[in-house]
Amino acid sequence: MKFLGGNAESSPWVTVSEAVSEARGKVWAAVAYIGVDGHTVLPLKQGDLLVCDCSKQAVWNGSTQLSGVKDFVDAGCSVYSVEGLHAKVVVLPRRAFVGSMNASDSSRDRRYEAAFDATDTQVVTAARRFIRDLASEAARVDADFLSKAKVWQTSKPPQPEPEIRQAEVPSDLSRCRIVWLERGSWTENEERAFEAGLETAKHETPFDFRRDHFSWPKNDLGRFPIGSWVVQMIEGVAHPPAQVVHKSSFNRSGTVHLATPTGAEKLDAAAVEAICGSEPDDSVATCRPSKGKQLRSLFGKPSGNGV
């Protein structure tokens, strides 16, 4: 293992950039922030993978430049965004760099950066696994994502707290949607619809809630208004009430993003159907006002303030 440190001519980027340019095989990188000239500093090619922080906050405050991220997308890289990422890891087939550097000309030319250059097989494998795990839970960044994200460059930054702020399940579940779903593999369009809304859904989900989601046709997403509550019925199991925090779509496919309060347990679907009725032809029922409190009682005692 070697230590690299310095700036300008002695910057770790001198070694990293050359190694990436000459790499034979796929290069994976997790580099938090991308500058305007990021692709010049980190010359990834088609088929390589980049995980960065292309969230609302990072774009708004200038930590990540959309034009720089676009260069990686245009080069054919698979690009993903993880809000809060701060790592700087670059992995070649038999080599890994772990350091302090963001992908920018200022990092290369003006900052005093440091990195370890490792060829140990276990280190390289662990570094690649780290990036793979990040990408598996990240939002995909493509031309459509970048187009929508342009507004973040001039808009007010997101608040630290989410917009949807229910403390827990309300004491009355009148108008709650009951939706019957089936498990199965998603199509590519369904996956893209989910990825298109993942970053926003993460932001809108309260910290003590669990994220969830289900696929639904784009032209029928209006049945699940933002802020409404949903009980998912899947293979005879009624899942705890969850609040709709975001909706996203791609082509004709859509995704309903949910936030579920922790602590509630799953029930036998028959208990919910006894109150709200069996599955209708269109797979969605709405709890009648006269049954709202009864439905809520199935999932435990309501909160004292009845929010």
Tell me the residue type at 51.
V
Domain span at 74: 2-153
Q: Domain for residue 265, yes or no?
A: yes
Which residues make beta-bridge pairs with 107?
Answer: none
Q: Are residues 210 and 96 in the same domain?
A: no
Q: Please say if the pLDDT value at position 306 is more than 90.
A: no
Whether residue 54 is predicted with pLDDT greater than 80 in this model: the reply is: yes
Answer whether residue 115 shows pLDDT above 90.
Answer: yes
pLDDT of residue 7: 86
pLDDT tens digits for range 71-90: 999 999 999 999 989 999 99
Question: In this structure, are 140 and 244 located in the same domain?
Answer: no
Structure tokens at 58: 């990072």
- Model pTM? 0.54
Whole-angstrom CA distances from 100 to 23, 113, 138, 192, 256 are 21, 6, 21, 32, 37
Q: Residue 304 has what pLDDT?
A: 37
Residues 149, 93: one domain? Answer: yes
Please report whether residue 170 resides in a domain.
no
Q: Which of 153, 186, 215 is the last residue of a domain?
A: 153
Q: Do 34 and 146 belong together in one domain?
A: yes
Same-domain check for residues 16 and 81: yes
Q: What digits encode the pLDDT tens for the residues 207-216?
A: 678 899 999 9
Integer-rounded Cα radius of gyration of the chain: 23
Q: Is residue 122 a part of any domain in this protein? A: yes
Residue 158 lies in a domain: no
Which of 138, 153, 168 represents a domain boundary (last residue)?
A: 153
Query: What's the pLDDT at 303?
Result: 43
146 & 198 share domain? no
Domain count, the chain: 2
Residue 229 in any domain: the answer is: yes
CATH number of 149's domain: 3.30.870.10
> Are 131 and 66 found together in one domain?
yes
Residue type, 158: P
| Range of lowest pLDDT (25-29, 81-85, 172-176, 199-203) | 199-203
Q: Report if residue 172 sits inside a domain.
A: no
Percent of the chain with pLDDT over 90: 73
**Residue 250 in domain:** yes
Per-residue pLDDT reduced to its tens digit, 265-289: 889 999 999 999 999 999 999 999 9
- Measured between alpha carbons, how far is residue 295 from residues 87, 124, 178, 292, 298 in Å? 45, 52, 11, 5, 6
